[in-house]
Amino acid sequence: MKSLDALRESHLTSIAAASSHDELEVARLAAFGRKSGEISQRLSQLGKMDPEQRREIAPRLNHIKNELQQAISAKKSEIEEREIEEQIGQEWTDITLPGRYRAEGTIHPVSQVTEEVIAIFADLGFEVAEGPQIESDWYNFDALNIPPEHPARQEHDTFFIQNSDSDTGQPNVLRTHTSPVQIRAMNAAKPPMRIIAPGRVYRCDYDQTHTPMFHQIEGLAIDTDISMAHLKWTLEEFCCAFFEVEKAELRFRASHFPFTEPSAEVDLRCSWEQGRLKVGEGSDWLEILGSGMVHPNVLKAGGIDPDNWQGFAFGIGIDRLAMLKYGIPDLRAFFESDIRWLRHYGFRPLDVPSLHGGLSR
- 278-314 confidence digits (pLDDT tens): 887 888 898 999 999 999 999 999 999 999 999 999 9
- 193-213 confidence digits (pLDDT tens): 999 999 999 988 766 666 788
* Separation between Cα atoms, residue 165 and residue 176, nearest integer Å: 17
Cβ neighbours of residue 263 closer than 8 Å, sequence gap 6 or more: 254, 255, 256, 257, 290, 291, 292
Cβ neighbours of residue 61 closer than 8 Å, sequence gap 6 or more: 4, 39, 42, 43, 46
* Separation between Cα atoms, residue 55 and residue 357, nearest integer Å: 82
pLDDT of residue 183: 93
CB neighbour burial string for 204-234, b if at least 16 within 10 angstroms, e if fewer: eeeeeeebeebbbbbbbbbeeebeeeebbeb
DSSP H or E segment with residue 279? strand 276-279
* Separation between Cα atoms, residue 30 and residue 214, nearest integer Å: 70
pLDDT of residue 165: 64
- 333-355 confidence digits (pLDDT tens): 888 888 888 888 888 877 777 77
DSSP state of 99: P
Please name the residue ranges forming H helices in the chain.
Answer: 4-17, 21-32, 38-44, 51-90, 109-123, 137-140, 179-188, 228-243, 296-301, 318-326, 339-345
Q: Are 113 and 322 contacting, i.e. CB atoms less than 8 angstroms apart?
A: yes
Task: Provide the mean pLDDT of the chain.
Answer: 85
Q: Are 276 and 270 contacting, i.e. CB atoms less than 8 angstroms apart?
A: no
pLDDT of residue 207: 65
Q: Quick one: which of 217, 221, 177, 164 has its CA closest to 195?
A: 221
DSSP state of 354: B
Handedness of CA 133, 136, 141, 145 (dihedral sign): negative
**What is the bridge-based pairing of β-strands 171-174 and 260-273?**
unpaired
Distance between first and last Cα of the chain: 86
Q: Is it the case that residue 107 has pLDDT exceeding 90? A: no
Q: Are 222 and 195 contacting, i.e. CB atoms less than 8 angstroms apart?
A: no
* Separation between Cα atoms, residue 29 and residue 148, nearest integer Å: 80
DSSP state of 246: S
Q: Is it the case that residue 173 has pLDDT exceeding 70? A: yes
pLDDT band at 103 (very low <50, low <70, confident <90, very high): low
pLDDT of residue 226: 92
Phi, psi at 312, each rounded to 5°? -120, 160
